[in-house]
Amino acid sequence: MDTDKINSANVETPSADSAVEQKQEASPMVKERKFRTPPKPNTSPLHGLWALTNRDLRKWYLNPIQLLISLIQPIIWLALFGKALNFGTFIAGSGATPAQQNAILLSFFGTTSYFSFLACGMLAFIVLFTSAFSGMSVVFDRRFGFLNKALTTPVARGSIVMGKILQSVGRSLVQAAIVLVIAVVLGMDASHFTVLGIVGAFFAIFLMGIGLSALFTMLALRSADWQTQTAIINLINLPLLFASNALFPTKIMPTWLQDIANVNPVSYANDATRQLLIGATNMPNLLVDFSVLIAFAVILSTIGIVLSWRFLSK
Amino acid sequence: MPTTQNEGMNASKIVKVENLSKTFGALKAVDNVSFEVYEGEIFGFLGPNGAGKTTTINMLTTLIKPSSGKAEVCGYDVFKHANEVRRSVGVVPQEYTADEDMTGINNILLCADLYGMPRSDSKIHAEELLELVELQDAAKRKVSTYSGGMRRRLELACGLINYPKLLFLDEPTLGLDVQTRTAVWRYIKTLKEDYHMTLFMTTHYLEEADSVCDRIAIIDHGHIIKTGSPEELKESVGGDVIVVSVKESEPDISSDIAQIKLVTSVRKNDSTYRIKAELGEEASPQITDLIRSKGLHVTKVSLTKPTLDEAYLEFTGRSLREEEVDKLQMFRQRVTMRRARS
Ligand SMILES: Nc1ncnc2c1ncn2[C@@H]1O[C@H](COP(=O)(O)OP(=O)(O)OP(=O)(O)O)[C@@H](O)[C@H]1O
Ligand SMILES: [Mg+2]
């Protein structure tokens, strides 16, 4: 009986009536129960990367509430700092002539519209906060066992980390685009928009998102504890935001803070988006911005992948 | 039936473990174990909580690195050729690992993608597996709406998506009701008999291990105490128990009964004799004959075959050892049990 089965391993035509019989309660010995010849699996080191990325992305776009909630904060900031507590209004109230005012604004912000300046900062803001949760999602995957499942499959350990990074960057780009549209509706200066400028700005955001989510993901690699992870997020996020030029130009900061802001990759992304989207002047060369951002993205994601080999399993 | 065949030379070893150990800090979770699993058999790993069963499975499925020793699975070293091992085995872990926010079918397809299975195949295969575990009707529902039994069956389907030669099952019936448990055992038997798979499983349900497993290893405190077929394990406890009640409590004829060849021990309690014997069916008529020949009257005779429970308790002792289970593990177990009941 055994040889019989082996010989018929590839044969695959259950007759209709035997299929009906099979339905009638467990006769597990029915003969056509047999796996087909296994297909040849894809063994490239990148297999499964898209599946892992898409798993997180799907959950996100199938749950619009999450998206809406994540948009509330940048919009509040835009309304509060961009409209209600506008720096431009302070300067306007100083008694200077409009020309003088513009000169002051230009020297501080590189543009005459503080609201537009802040809107670019908000793009970085939403990327920063979205990236922070890439680590959280690693923690939940560990906690609820999915990570262990993935680790028993031949998917590359680096792909598990890259999947987290890419899904976070994907969300960041979409959310940043929505924030940009809202900002324009609320009065952001769109007169400098060009296709190339927008593409360039989102490339800057993309690079920053890769670096930041790699950072948060690698900090979560060993952790199964979401409280610690929340603490880490708070510890890193707010300093990264405030010690950057996202909300205020570095010129008005004390020098020690300026020093930090000048090595903060978030500042470079803001410099780039401000030059590319609102034609801000008075800024470092775009080449410098992109060099720093590319280095940041490449170095952090490399470290993330290397650490994943060591630390994902016990 | 395959038990004897496995002892023959022709059955090849699909798992070879030599002096495998795993230490967590000062704790030796698995201590120098050696065993083999033959192709085509159902191998059961039995042991109390914290014995080291899951730790052993985790090492064999490349989830954790052994501290020392050697393990070969499907011909590959678990450490040096981890990816080949991962490709050839399926794993159904102790806790639920499916993504609750996804549907059953999408969970299976995701597993298939992680194994690099082409979608053209995995779509068909996923349907077949859903049918095998009788989940076709729930395939398009989110896993968060599944009952514990459905989740366990889904885990089983996920573990089969890569056509494994060897399937690891860690407590596949934990927290399930009788019906689901029976179904799971039925699938396991199907996998062995129809698909010619080898199964390596752990369980707490002794009667079922008895009826399903070809060979069993009893593990405790990280040591393998005993390996053998269920029959061998039962025999090693010391045979059948015959209890004979006699009308007269005197005289004591224990020593006469002990003379019978098949009898291994006799204990008298008032007018009842508790006798351990090798072949109970043959020994008991001899015993009653002897009693009658002494002019006494037999009022009751009972014969009990040893259960695996007895073997198990004899080898692992009777005290519970919950204090050794670590906290994360307790959390996971609670989550698993809670979901199993939902
Ligand atoms: N990651 C870990 N860190 C520290 N100790 C661990 C770890 N994993 C397991 N242990 C310990 O190793 C021992 C063996 O655990 P294991 O999970 O292998 O037991 P088990 O036989 O599967 O038990 P159960 O039947 O409860 O599932 C336990 O004492 C456990 O506390
Ligand atoms: Mg266990």
CB distance B181 to ligand 1 below 6 Å: no
Contact B219, B52 (CB under 8 A): yes
| Residue B39: pLDDT band with limits 50, 70, 90 | very high
What lies within 8 Å, CB to CB, of A211 at 6+ separation is: A265, A293, A296, A297, A299, A300, A301
pLDDT above 70 (res B68): yes
pLDDT above 50 (res A6): no
Residue A12 lies in a domain: no
Would you state the structure tokens that stand for residue B83, as one six-digit string? 């990816």
Helix (H), strand (E) at residue B263: strand B263-269
Residue A250 lies in a domain: yes
* Nearest by CB: A28 against B99, B113, B190: B190
Q: How far is A302 from chain B (nearest CA, A)?
A: 21
Interface check for B231 against chain A (CB to CB < 8 A): the answer is no
pLDDT at B91: 96
CA atoms of B320 and B121, how far apart (whole Å): 47
The ligand with the least distance to the CA atom of B93 is 2
pLDDT above 80 (res A306): yes
Burial, A58: exposed, middle or buried (Cβ in 10 Å; 0-12, 13-18, 19+)?
middle
Please give the DSSP secondary-structure letter assigned to residue B166: E
Q: How far is B26 from chain A (nearest CA, A)?
A: 16
Condensed to tens digits (0 to 9), the pLDDT of residues B211-232 reads 899 999 988 889 998 899 988 8
Higher pLDDT, A156 or B303: A156
Report the number of distinct structural domains present in chain A: 1
Please give the DSSP secondary-structure letter assigned to residue B137: G
- Indicate yes or no: CB of A39 within 8 angstroms of CB of B117: yes
Largest CA distance in chain A: 100
| Chain A residues within 8 A of B189 when measuring between CB atoms | 28
C-alpha pair distances (Å), B244 with each of A116, B104, B225, B235, B259:
97, 57, 33, 21, 16
Contact A287, A299 (CB under 8 A): no
Please give the DSSP secondary-structure letter assigned to residue B175: T
Residue tagged 């000048």 (tokens): A262
CA atoms of A148 and B58, how far apart (whole Å): 10
Higher pLDDT, A189 or A297: A297
| Residue A314: pLDDT band with limits 50, 70, 90 | low
- Count CB neighbours of A68 within 10 A: 10
Condensed to tens digits (0 to 9), the pLDDT of residues A202-230 reads 999 999 999 999 999 999 988 778 888 88
pLDDT above 80 (res A114): yes
- The letter for the amino acid at A30 is V
- Interval between CA B220 and ligand 2 midpoint (Å): 12
Burial, A126: exposed, middle or buried (Cβ in 10 Å; 0-12, 13-18, 19+)?
buried
| Chain A residues within 8 A of B133 when measuring between CB atoms | none
pLDDT at A24: 41
pLDDT at A135: 87
What lies within 8 Å, CB to CB, of B250 at 6+ separation is: none
Mean pLDDT over A80-107 rounds to 72
pLDDT at B74: 94
| Residue A20: pLDDT band with limits 50, 70, 90 | very low
Please give the DSSP secondary-structure letter assigned to residue A188: -
Q: Omega before B251 cis (within 30°)? A: yes
Sign of the C-alpha dihedral computed for residues A239, A241, A244 and A247 taken in this order: negative
Condensed to tens digits (0 to 9), the pLDDT of residues B157-208 reads 999 999 999 999 999 988 888 888 888 889 999 899 888 899 999 987 777 7
* Nearest by CB: B195 against A35, A40, A151: A35
pLDDT at A13: 40
CA atoms of B171 and B56, how far apart (whole Å): 13
CB distance B22 to ligand 1 below 6 Å: no
Residue tagged 């992680």 (tokens): B114
- Phi then psi dihedrals of residue A40, to 5 deg: -80, 120
Residue A39 lies in a domain: no
- Nearest partner of B16 among B82, B53, B52, B60, judged by Cα: B60
Domain that holds residue A213: 45-311
Would you state the structure tokens that stand for residue A284, as one six-digit string? 């470092």
Residue A38 lies in a domain: no
Instruction: Pick the atom of ligand 1 nearest to B324's CA.
Output: 29
Would you state the structure tokens that stand for residue B290, as one six-digit string? 């002897």
Residue A5 lies in a domain: no
Condensed to tens digits (0 to 9), the pLDDT of residues B271-286 reads 888 888 888 888 888 8
Condensed to tens digits (0 to 9), the pLDDT of residues B258-267 reads 888 888 888 8
Q: Sketch out chain B's domains with CATH numbers.
A: 5-234 (3.40.50.300), 238-305 (3.30.70.100)
What percent of chain B stands above pLDDT 70? 87
pLDDT above 80 (res B249): no
pLDDT at B202: 92
What percent of chain A stands above pLDDT 90? 37
ipTM confidence:
0.80
Higher pLDDT, A71 or A150: A150
| Residue B333: pLDDT band with limits 50, 70, 90 | low
* Nearest by CB: B194 against A33, A48, A314: A33
Q: How far is A58 from chain B (nearest CA, A)?
A: 9
CB distance B27 to ligand 1 below 6 Å: yes
Nearest CA to ligand 1 atom 19: B50
- Phi then psi dihedrals of residue A34, to 5 deg: -160, 140
pLDDT above 60 (res A14): no
Residue A264 lies in a domain: yes
pLDDT above 90 (res A310): no
**For the whole model, what pTM was predicted?**
0.80
Q: Whole-number mean pLDDT of chain A?
A: 82
Nearest CA to ligand 1 atom 28: B50
CB distance B64 to ligand 1 below 6 Å: no
Residue A145 lies in a domain: yes
pLDDT above 50 (res B3): no
CA atoms of A268 and A255, how far apart (whole Å): 18
Highest mean pLDDT among A67-71, A113-117, B138-142, B333-337: B138-142
From B3-7, B23-27, B51-55, B264-268, the region with the lowest mean pLDDT: B3-7
* Nearest by CB: A51 against B93, B110, B328: B110
pLDDT at A311: 81
CB distance B24 to ligand 1 below 6 Å: yes
- Indicate yes or no: CB of B190 within 8 angstroms of CB of A43: no
| Residue B5: pLDDT band with limits 50, 70, 90 | very low
Condensed to tens digits (0 to 9), the pLDDT of residues B10-36 reads 568 999 999 999 999 889 999 999 999
CA atoms of A250 and A137, how far apart (whole Å): 33
CA atoms of B284 and B290, how far apart (whole Å): 10
pLDDT above 90 (res B328): no
Strand ranges of the sheet holding B298-304, from the earlier edge strand across to the other edge: B263-269, B272-277, B240-246, B298-304
| Residue B324: pLDDT band with limits 50, 70, 90 | very low
Higher pLDDT, B81 or A77: B81
pLDDT at A19: 40
CA atoms of B213 and B35, how far apart (whole Å): 15
pLDDT at B337: 65
pLDDT at A17: 41
- Indicate yes or no: CB of A33 within 8 angstroms of CB of B116: no
Candidates B106, B115, B331: best to mutate against A (most CBs of A within 10 A) is B115
What lies within 8 Å, CB to CB, of B168 at 6+ separation is: B57, B60, B61, B89, B90, B91, B92, B159, B200, B201
Candidates A8, A29, A35: best to mutate against B (most CBs of B within 10 A) is A35
